[in-house]
Amino acid sequence: MAPQRLVILGVAESDAHAVANRLIAMHLSQAGFEVVNLGTCTPLADFAAALRRHPTAEAVLIGSLNGHAYADLRDLPALRAEGELRCPVVVGGNLAVGVDRSADARRRLLELGVDRVLTDAAELVPLLDSLRPKVAV
């Protein structure tokens, strides 16, 4: 029996929006993932600590609806330089205040070190499948 796939999920530090987080956790659980859900208002350091406790996690998934994802993830380069958050970091939701700024916010998050940016939760499981290391048969 294959080990269960595991992801770490949470909402960015300045963001208290819980509904999407819960829906995504349910969706991932139904898709066969074990979800370590850190909930809302989660500092980036808490994601790193969770990854240390669960080193087999395939990805760290961070939601943001208030548009302040960039500010909440400003410590990502330093954590990566320290060897933390070595798995893919995926950010989704509303990435900027105002619709017209989303492309700029996406570019800035990728430059910050985020591996993938999603705007549609339906893309999450296919993305995780594509990030999964290929197993030799």
CB atoms within 10 A of CB 126: 9
46 is catalytic: no
- How far is the CA of 100 from the CAs of 5, 14, 52, in angstroms? 36, 21, 37
CB atoms within 10 A of CB 28: 22
68 is catalytic: no
Q: Which of 17, 46, 54, 75 is catalytic?
A: 17
Decide if 109 contacts 76 (C-beta within 8 A).
Answer: no
Active site residues: 15, 17
